[in-house]
Amino acid sequence: MTAAVPAQRTHRKDIQGLRAIAVLAVVAWHLDPRALPGGFAGVDVFFVVSGFLMTRWLVERHTLDRAALADFWARRCRRILPAATLVLLVTLVAGWIVLPATRRPELSFDALWSALYVVNLHFAQGSTDYLQSFASPSPFQHYWSLAVEEQFYLLWPLLMAAAAVAAARWRRSRRLLSGAIVVLVIIASAVASIVWTATDPASAYFTTPTRLWELALGGLVAVVPALRGRAAGPVALTGVLAAVASFAVLHGSTPFPGVAAWWPTLATALVLWAGGGGDELVRRSLVHRALAIRPVQWVGAISYSVYLWHWPVIVLANPYDKDTTLLSWRTVLIVAVTLVLAWLTWRLVEEPLRSRSPRVPWASVRGGILLGAACLATTVLVVGAAATAAPSLAQVPDYPGPAATAGGARSIPAGATADAVAGRPVTGYVPAPEDLHADLPASYADGCHVQAEVAEPVECRWGDDGPLVVVVGDSHATQWVPTAEALAEEHGWRVLAMTKAGCPFTASEVAMSGSGVPYSACMQWNAAVAAVLEREQPALVITSNAPTVAWDGGVVPDEGADASLGTGMATAWGAVLDRGARVAVMRDTPAAGFSIDDCVREEPQSLGTCEFDRGPALERAGTGQEEAARLEPRAALIDLNDAICGSSTCYPVIDGVVVFRDAGHLTGSYARTLADHLERELEAADVMPTER
């Protein structure tokens, strides 16, 4: 038996307006996070709207039998899969052509995860790998939210059907039981979101259990009575203003989703609740009239296609992920191309395939399911073939091979900058492009550079006798392990390395990078490292740190981070110095801030494209280092950046050696060539290790 279809509802312009606001926020954030730092919350607005619409449809069905569930899934297939399939396949083909050849395997596998609508799990897993945080963004990264919604669409009808069965068996109100299930889901998922965001914020961002409550919140609005009367207009206005404010106030270091996600989601729920009564007062209200203007409604109508296209266009137009500004000619062009592609997709794919005319084969329930199956099968077959072929087609074009001599920093005279050798023609370089990401300090392979979740240090040792030199800190300290090894071979030192992702050597508390939650494992690790240093009594401790977020009961604002972190680092250094050891603090190195490794691979004949300005790259480098050196003047602040960059320009290749392996780190090969420069600086600062 086919379930009866509810009466056709009046088109809600406020929902279309919410979609427009949400997608514009996401696009602006992706183009320039500095312009709209909380624009990522536009996705949360979409989640609430989707949960509301899906729950309303399910609850208003007279019955929720197998036929009704099949009808629901057929509608979702027609609505979601064709456009998503088109964008995915076009992006895959364009990515193979535009993006670096070495990215083809990654591109193909990301597409495969996206085609199966489990890419959120893939990105959640990848987000726990610190090395991946410097990788180029995937053009399929935005498919994570589609994956969350598709998983919701599979689960939610079953829960609503269970409520219908229970209501019939117990002779209770179906809407009441549906609401009870919705509330239970909200509570369970919201608690999971708060806990998960605090303990594993990177993966919490992508996973369905931490996001399910947002869709369920929209479902709650669908089962409670709509707000009516004079209060509806002010409530809707409050909701819209609160949602827009969240886009401006939230930022990348806000723990999310967690508690913070209640801001944009509750704001969205208020708008949906206030607009559900259909009162004339609401339709005449300021917020409803603003959301109902034609340009807003047009963007809302094509918002799904805008969301699908905008991120691939951004990535493909900027293959090296260089910084963009919101009002530049490049971003204006990106927005124009996105809108044209979105309108065409809406006009030629979305609208025709949503037709319920009996003359088209996909209009029936069976036709909709078959259409969805065809989309999935086509995508998996094409993407699977690409993934199979990608490894053999990932060669770097025009790699000139290794240089006849690869001096790197060894060729830079003492007291000079890299400008002294930058004019030499690049006839080749090492490491080879395909080996760049693997050109790591030995501490990675030996396991003593531990990841974020590890609280105990792992000790790597090289050399059998001589004074002990310890390298300690985050990944920017790890960069100096090859340099220390080179000097150890020459001077007979022993080297001990203990480093941890995103964790500087400090006695103060820091936040986990990109999450805005306290990095408790870092504090535990630092305490254990201090105990090792007290036991080992090294002759020299070499340390450094990348830009770091300070924590003092909350995220310390940027203007206070240097003082907060510097105080803690000075305390940690002082404890070492008080025991008679020396401390050498390596001034943090400039970070390219874009995929310089991809640039080197793709531009072997025009490496000038891969250069960047030294000044801006050092503005936020090494949080707290100078303040700590002022507080603890016994520590030697060593600056080798003249041997890494010129006076104003940083070069991708110096005398046959690639300088940077990613957006934020030196290659191990180049770090090793800095040994002579480090030796001179250690001697000048009178911290060169000697027998004790």
DSSP-derived secondary structure for 42-93: HHHHHHHHHHHHHHHHHHTSS--SHHHHHHHHHHHHHHHHHHHHHHHHHHHH
pLDDT of residue 127: 60
* Burial class of residue 554, CB neighbours in 10 A (0-12, 13-18, 19+): exposed
Indicate the pairing of strand 636-638 with strand 612-613: unpaired
Say how far apart CA 480 and CA 267 lie, in whole Å: 49
Tokens of 603: 């531009």
* 217 pLDDT more than 60: yes
Tokens of 88: 């995915």
**Band of residue 441 on the pLDDT scale cut at 50, 70, 90:** very high
Indicate the pairing of strand 657-658 with strand 653-654: antiparallel
* 513 pLDDT more than 90: no
* 576 pLDDT more than 50: yes
**Which helix (DSSP H) or strand (DSSP E) does residue 468 occupy?**
strand 468-473
pLDDT of residue 10: 59
Tell me if 98 sits within 8 A of 316, measured CB to CB. yes
Say how far apart CA 604 and CA 652 lie, in whole Å: 10
130-184 confidence digits (pLDDT tens): 445 567 889 999 999 999 999 999 999 999 999 999 988 888 888 899 999 999 9
**Band of residue 349 on the pLDDT scale cut at 50, 70, 90:** very high
What is the total residue count of the chain? 692
Give the range among 273-287, 425-439, 564-578 with minimum mean pLDDT: 273-287
* 7 pLDDT more than 60: no
Mean pLDDT, rounded, for 509-514: 85
* Burial class of residue 384, CB neighbours in 10 A (0-12, 13-18, 19+): middle
Could you tell me the CATH superfamily of domain 408-684? SGNH hydrolase (3.40.50.1110)
Q: How many CB atoms lie within 10 A of CB 677?
A: 19
255-272 confidence digits (pLDDT tens): 889 999 999 999 999 999
Mean pLDDT in the chain? Answer: 90
Give the range among 20-29, 263-272, 353-362, 557-566 with minimum mean pLDDT: 353-362
Instruction: Write the DSSP string, 369-385.
Output: HHHHHHHHHHHHHHHHH
Mean pLDDT, rounded, for 90-115: 92
Q: For residue 474, what is the DSSP state?
A: S
pLDDT of residue 282: 64
pLDDT of residue 277: 65
Q: Domain boundaries in the chain?
A: 13-393, 408-684
pLDDT of residue 130: 45
State percent of the chain over pLDDT 70: 95
Cis peptide before 358 (omega within 30 of 0): no
